[in-house]
């Protein structure tokens, strides 16, 4: 029977079990469940929001029904907590064990595999079917925290060279500006362009699922694997659906993680028939515009000259009551600065 | 009977299925199954028959099936529906 692991003594036991299997114990989770037999821990798994993780099963008990029992309990708890679908990262050799449980393989790069339970990607694509256009199409993926003249420049440059441009705004809500605001400002800031569709990435691009390291801001080996999975998912599943054959992105003078992601795009996308196109960043006052500069200025309360960095639509939001509340949160440092 | 709230029943173990139901304006049935290619139409027919029997005309029913027999489909779906009706 699957039981919840509660209390520090039991959690320490779980940690020792996971580490004995050569895995890393991650202390961030909503649920940690295990299976005991005769007082001995034989299997363990965890859930962090809609991500299932830290599966470890005693080697002598692998290949049976324990994984199914763990996943059943974690999915049951996750559904009760309001989640529809669930993701799992695993080693490629374990992907088939999850596929047998009706997980669908989203991307695999030889070192890691990303799978999901619940047909989320299929539903996401179906929901966006009306936006699909024939022709030479391209994509940009942006966080827009908040939407700047830099974003507008990138979108204008790209839209001028293609039939239809899909501007995906990262849904992941770990930014100072909430997703609905980032999406709205991107729509308002590009409404003068008739061939631009501003869409929600859902969980399928640069999210805590495909790309957790982006939100941790470090460029290590795990980050490199996740960038690849993110791009494979884009190239193999998203781009073909939207008939995307080019991906535009801004040059990155500041952030090493984003620069590594740009390099990964140049390396990986061409083999899937997608041309990576780098656009030089728009400058103001002799420096490339970045959303983090805008946030820093807002945090310091030095909003003079902001109109050189953001379009009128974003400026209007910032002076609204809702916009002032975001600035207040920025100043108090409540919002994560991704 | 009607689907008044989200509910779930069953497991993802072999020969079983997990059923999720929730309110929806229309009637939507989504089937994932390890035997989808051979048996999706039969699973769907069984689900439709049970929903009809309960007088349910609206809601979203998702099943994740691993080769469950009709009796299991019936038991799991009826349990989920009962939970969703708040009884």
Q: What is the CATH number of the domain that holds A21?
A: 3.40.630.30
The CATH number given to whatever domain includes residue A194 is: 3.40.50.620
Q: Residue B87 — pLDDT band, cuts 50, 70, 90?
A: low
Helix or strand holding residue A258 (H, E): helix A256-268
Q: CB-side exposure of A279: number of CA atoms within 13 Å?
A: 23
Residues of B in contact with A76 (CB under 8 A): 8
Predicted pLDDT of residue A90:
86
Residues of B in contact with A65 (CB under 8 A): 13-14
Percentage of residues of chain B with pLDDT beyond 70: 98
| pTM to 2 decimal places | 0.88
Residues of A in contact with B60 (CB under 8 A): none
DSSP-derived letter for residue A215 is G
Q: Are A170 and A320 in contact (CB under 8 A)?
A: no
pLDDT in tens, A126-168: 999 999 999 999 999 999 999 999 999 999 999 999 999 999 9
B67 domain-assigned:
yes
Q: Sign of the CA dihedral A259, A261, A263, A269?
A: negative
The CATH number given to whatever domain includes residue B25 is: 3.30.230.10
Best interface-test mutation with B: which of A101, A124, A127 has the largest number of B CBs within 10 A? Answer: A101
A101 domain-assigned:
no
| Domain count along chain B | 1
Residue-number span of the structural domain to which A256 is assigned: 133-330
Q: Note the ipTM here.
A: 0.89
Q: Do the Cβ atoms of B11 and A117 come within 8 Å?
A: no
Q: Are A74 and A45 in contact (CB under 8 A)?
A: yes
Give the CA diameter of chain B: 35
pLDDT in tens, A62-94: 888 999 999 999 999 999 999 989 999 888 899
| Domain count along chain A | 2
Are A21 and A138 within one domain?
A: no
pLDDT in tens, B14-39: 999 999 999 999 999 999 999 999 99
- B65 vs A: CB within 8 A: yes
Best interface-test mutation with B: which of A2, A71, A72 has the largest number of B CBs within 10 A? Answer: A72
Residues of chain A with pLDDT under 70: 211-220, 334-338
Best interface-test mutation with A: which of B9, B12, B17, B29 has the largest number of A CBs within 10 A? Answer: B12
A153 domain-assigned:
yes
Predicted pLDDT of residue A175:
83
A230 domain-assigned:
yes
Are A215 and A295 within one domain?
A: yes
Cα separations in angstroms, A90 against A21, A55, A112, A186, A223: 14, 9, 6, 35, 15
> Of the residues A51, A86, A121, which one is the last residue of a structural domain?
A86
DSSP string for residues in A72-138: HHHHHHHHHTT---EEEEE-GGGHHHHHTTT-EEEEE-SS-EEEEESSHHHHHHHHTGGG---SSEE
A117 domain-assigned:
no
Predicted pLDDT of residue A338:
47
Residue-number span of the structural domain to which B59 is assigned: 7-84
Alpha-carbon gap, residue B35 to A119, rounded angstroms: 16
Residues of A in contact with B20 (CB under 8 A): 79
């Amino acid at each position: 029977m699957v039981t919840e692991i509660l209390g520090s003594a039991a959690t320490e036991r779980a940690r020792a079990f996971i580490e004995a299997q050569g895995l890393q114990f991650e202390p961030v989770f909503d649920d940690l469940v295990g299976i005991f037999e005769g007082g001995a821990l034989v299997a363990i798994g965890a859930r962090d929001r809609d991500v299932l993780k830290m599966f470890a099963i005693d080697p002598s008990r692998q290949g049976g029904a324990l994984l199914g029992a763990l996943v059943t309990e974690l999915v049951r708890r996750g559904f009760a907590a309001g989640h529809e679908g669930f993701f799992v990262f695993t080693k490629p050799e374990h992907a088939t064990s999850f596929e047998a449980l009706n997980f669908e393989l989203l991307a695999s790069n030889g070192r890691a595999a990303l799978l999901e339970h619940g047909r989320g990607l299929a539903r996401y694509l179906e929901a966006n079917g009306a936006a699909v256009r024939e022709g030479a199409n391209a994509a940009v993926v942006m966080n827009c925290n908040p939407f700047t003249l830099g974003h507008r420049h990138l979108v204008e440059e790209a839209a001028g060279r293609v039939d239809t441009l899909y501007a995906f705004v990262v849904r992941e809500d770990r930014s100072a500006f909430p997703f609905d605001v980032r999406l709205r400002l991107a729509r308002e800031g590009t409404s003068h362009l008739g061939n631009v569709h501003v869409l929600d990435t859902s969980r399928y691009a640069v999210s805590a699922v495909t790309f957790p390291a982006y939100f941790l801001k470090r460029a290590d080996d795990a980050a490199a694997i996740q960038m690849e999975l993110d791009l494979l998912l884009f190239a193999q599943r998203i781009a073909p659906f939207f008939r995307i054959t080019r991906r535009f992105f801004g040059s990155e003078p500041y952030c090493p993680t984003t620069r590594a992601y740009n390099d990964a795009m140049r390396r990986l996308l061409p083999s899937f028939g997608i041309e990576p196109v780098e656009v030089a960043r728009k400058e103001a006052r002799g420096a490339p515009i970045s959303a983090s500069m805008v946030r820093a200025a807002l945090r310091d309360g030095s909003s003079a000259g902001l109109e050189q960095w953001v379009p009128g639509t974003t400026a209007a939001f910032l002076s609204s009551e809702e916009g002032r509340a975001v600035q207040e949160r920025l100043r108090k440092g409540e919002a994560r600065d991704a | 009977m009607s689907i008044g709230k989200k509910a779930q029943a069953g497991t993802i173990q072999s020969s079983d299925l997990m059923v999720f139901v929730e309110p929806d304006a229309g009637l939507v049935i989504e089937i994932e199954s390890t035997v989808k290619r051979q048996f999706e139409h039969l699973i769907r027919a069984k689900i439709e028959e049970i929903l009809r029997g309960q007088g349910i005309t609206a809601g979203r029913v998702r099943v994740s099936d691993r080769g469950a027999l009709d009796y299991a489909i019936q038991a799991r779906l009826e349990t989920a529906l009962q939970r969703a009706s708040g009884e």
